[in-house]
A = this chain, B = another copy of it.
Amino acid sequence: MLGRLYENQECSAARALELVGERWSLLILRDAMFRNYTRFLQFQKSLGIAPNILAKRLEDFVAAGLMEHRQPGISGGQADYLLTQKGLELKAVIMTLTAWGDKWVRPGPIVFRNGADDQPIELQLRLADGNTPVDVADVVARRR
Residues on A facing B (Cβ under 8 Å)? 4, 6-17, 19, 21, 23, 26-27, 30, 34-35, 47-48, 86, 88-116, 118-129, 131, 134, 136-144
Contacts and interface: CB of A to CB of B under 8 A. Distances in A.
A142 B116 CA distance: 13
Number of copies of this protein chain within its complex: 2
A141 to B, nearest CB: 4
A9 B101 CA distance: 13
A105 to B, nearest CB: 4
Given A27-B6, A119-B129, A136-B92, A106 B15 contact: yes
A4 to B, nearest CB: 7
A111 B144 contact: yes
